[in-house]
Structure 1
Amino acid sequence: MFHGSMTAIITPFDQQGNVDEESYRQLIEFQIDNGTDVIVPCGTTGESATLNYHEHNRVIDICIEQVNKRVPVVAGTGSNSTAEAIEISRHAKEAGADGLLLVSPYYNKPSQEGIFQHYKALAEQVALPQILYNVPGRTGSNMTAATTIRLAEFKQIVAIKEASGDVTQASEIIAKAGDKIDVLSGDDFLALPLMACGAKGVISVSANIIPRQVKQMVVAAQENRWDDARKLHLQLLDVHQAMFIEANPVPVKTAASLMGKCRPGVRLPLVDLQPENLTRLKAVLSKHQLI
């Protein structure tokens, strides 16, 4: 249902630290102009962790309004509280989102049964296509392939964003439930390897600054032009790596700022990119003629 090059879009802030609506709308247009297939607001890259409820809802609303049905919008509405996730998800549905991105509950460290029951409640109470999001490095717990395969039985659950870094785990999901649930790469640097195993695309950080190039790589893989896809993957690898020289979204937001697309500001406890990493980032962006 949601395939291809999907951008986990950043949330720009103005000089006072408020959501910069004008820059945000321009970023959305940049994505659409460069062929992005799906836009994902309020994910980790969109700094959902430090948006208050009003801001979270507003950022989703702006995205849906600006996109205006030109591409699907999959709203990040996950929470470590099941009740809160349901509430935010219902707002996104009412606003006109095409789907939901639901991070596995963080900090609580629920059992596999707890993770299953969390997603089961969302699937049963919010009638919208849902993408599970497994990112152990952020949540503190891994959602196993077995749990994902159980959840694939729910019709509302259509995909999983796999950011465990475990190609074997993603492959097991495809092997055992690929006819019921799509796997999407949650890591740019694993997009090609996972697509070679049968994944349907990537929810990308790098596409915030190189949407056309990420789309080209994904299309090459979709069309089984593996030599072209591999060449593009290797060309872009240093960009993908640079996006994680510090905690996401600090590097990508800094990169977008250097390209003149928004201010670099992030919210505490995140801070601006450290000077030595800024030098490294500028070198990569210059190499790719982005600045």
Structure 2
Amino acid sequence: MTLHQELQGITCPLVTPFDPDSGDVDDDAFATLLGHLLEGGIDAVFPCGTTGEFASLSREEHARVVELAVEHVSGRVPVLAGAAATSVHDAVAHTETAAETGADAAVITPPYFHAANAPEGNQRFVERVADRSPLPLLLYNIPVCTGGRLEPETLAAVAAHDNVIGLKDSSGDLEYFLSVMRRTPDDFLTLQGYDALLLPALRMGADGGVNALSNAAPERYAELYDTADGDRGETVQDAIVPLFESCANDGFAPATKAALEYRDVIPSDAVRPPLVEVGEDGRESIASGVDGLLESSR
């Protein structure tokens, strides 16, 4: 099976559990999380993404988290290593480290803080990273964090690069997503990152999803993917929306960790500054959302 085929499903952008006392990455909790996801039917994992608080990790921690994912997954599903950076040099360095640990692909965003002043800037950035990366690249459109989007024309251009395999889109703009699908080749992966749009995207031909809340309920996300064409898919999607709305209010890393703690998958919902843990009202809403999603099972 090719990587393109393996990534047609649900990829989980992993949270990074922290020890609430030391603040260090909790290796044991991370291993438990991976077991929970594999048992739940996840098709691939994505350490060091937005939900994984990659920007709050040291370079050493970043490499270690990817290494732990590769180690515990042990070839059962692909590992897509986060490699977002503001310079070509640093993005390539992340891909090189990920390749050394055995990751299957790397994920990059457009540069943030100094956002591109023209679409050509993002095209140059992607192509220069792709030219030097030892791993295939999945692009990640998240304009709320990068200050601008990867334009459909840019994606159509870089899709011709042998080392660029597809896009995760977390813009929440379905029209944009469909425009990318129309402008790129069939073998360019289109993965929906906005949980509330997962079902409509799949029904319009998306290859899969990369969804934060699949951490908390991998079994429901796997089921939604498998039943997207029928009424059952609609039932699961409807049950996802209330939990997704709670997470949108409280931030995806804090809210997803709160959901995982509620399910007793990880022992703590600790996050790193500038993030803060979800407050009591938010926890109640998340608990209710988790219960509703789990109760949506047959």
Please, what TM-score do these two structures have when normalized by structure 2? 0.93
1:214 corresponds to which residue?
221
1:183 corresponds to which residue?
190
Check whether the contact 1:205–1:243 (CA below 8 A) recurs between aligned residues: no
Tell me the CA shift for residue 281 of structure 1. Answer: 1.8
Give the Cα separation in 1 of the matches to 2:157 and 2:182: 14
Q: Which consecutive unaligned segments of at least 5 residues does structure 1 have? A: none
Structure 2 counterpart of 1:129, which letter?
A: P
1:26 aligns with 2:37: no
Q: SS of the residue aligned with 2:227? A: helix
Structure 2 counterpart of 1:195, which letter?
A: L
Structure 2 counterpart of 1:227, which letter?
A: D
Out of 244-253 and 18-27, give the one that drifted further: 244-253
1:284 corresponds to which residue?
289
Give the Cα separation in 2 of the matches to 1:32 and 1:57: 21
Give the Cα separation in 2 of the matches to 1:289 and 1:6: 19
List aligned pairs for 1:70-81, cutoff 5 A: 70-81=76-87
Give the Cα separation in 1 of the matches to 2:149 and 2:175: 13
Tell me the CA shift for residue 197 of structure 1. Answer: 1.6
Tell me the CA shift for residue 288 of structure 1. Answer: 4.2
Q: Deviations over 1:76-107 (max 9, x none)?
A: 11112221111011100111101111122111
1:51 corresponds to which residue?
57
List aligned pairs for 1:30-109, cutoff 5 A: 30-109=36-115
Q: SS of the residue aligned with 1:249? A: helix
Tell me the CA shift for residue 230 of structure 1. Answer: 1.7
Tell me the CA shift for residue 249 of structure 1. Answer: 0.5
Give the Cα separation in 2 of the matches to 1:31 and 1:181: 26
1:274 corresponds to which residue?
279
* Shift in alpha-carbon separation, 1:232–1:258, aligned structure 2, 3 A: closer
Give the Cα separation in 2 of the matches to 1:226 and 1:136: 32
* Shift in alpha-carbon separation, 1:153–1:288, aligned structure 2, 3 A: closer
RMSD: 1.4
Q: Deviations over 1:88-147 (max 9, x none)?
A: 111001111011111221111113111111110111101322110000011111111111
2:240 corresponds to which residue?
236
Structure 1 counterpart of 2:36, which letter?
A: F
Check whether the contact 1:153–1:180 (CA below 8 A) recurs between aligned residues: no
Indicate the percent of aligned positions where both proteins have the same amino acid: 28
2:206 corresponds to which residue?
199
Q: Deviations over 1:225-250 (max 9, x none)?
A: 33222222112221222222212211
Q: Deviations over 1:42-73 (max 9, x none)?
A: 00001101000000000000100111101100
Out of 178-187 and 135-144, give the one that drifted further: 178-187
Please, what TM-score do these two structures have when normalized by structure 1? 0.95
- Equivalenced residues, count: 287
Check whether the contact 2:153–2:183 (CA below 8 A) recurs between aligned residues: no
Out of 243-252 and 48-57, give the one that drifted further: 243-252
Give the Cα separation in 2 of the matches to 1:131 and 1:119: 10
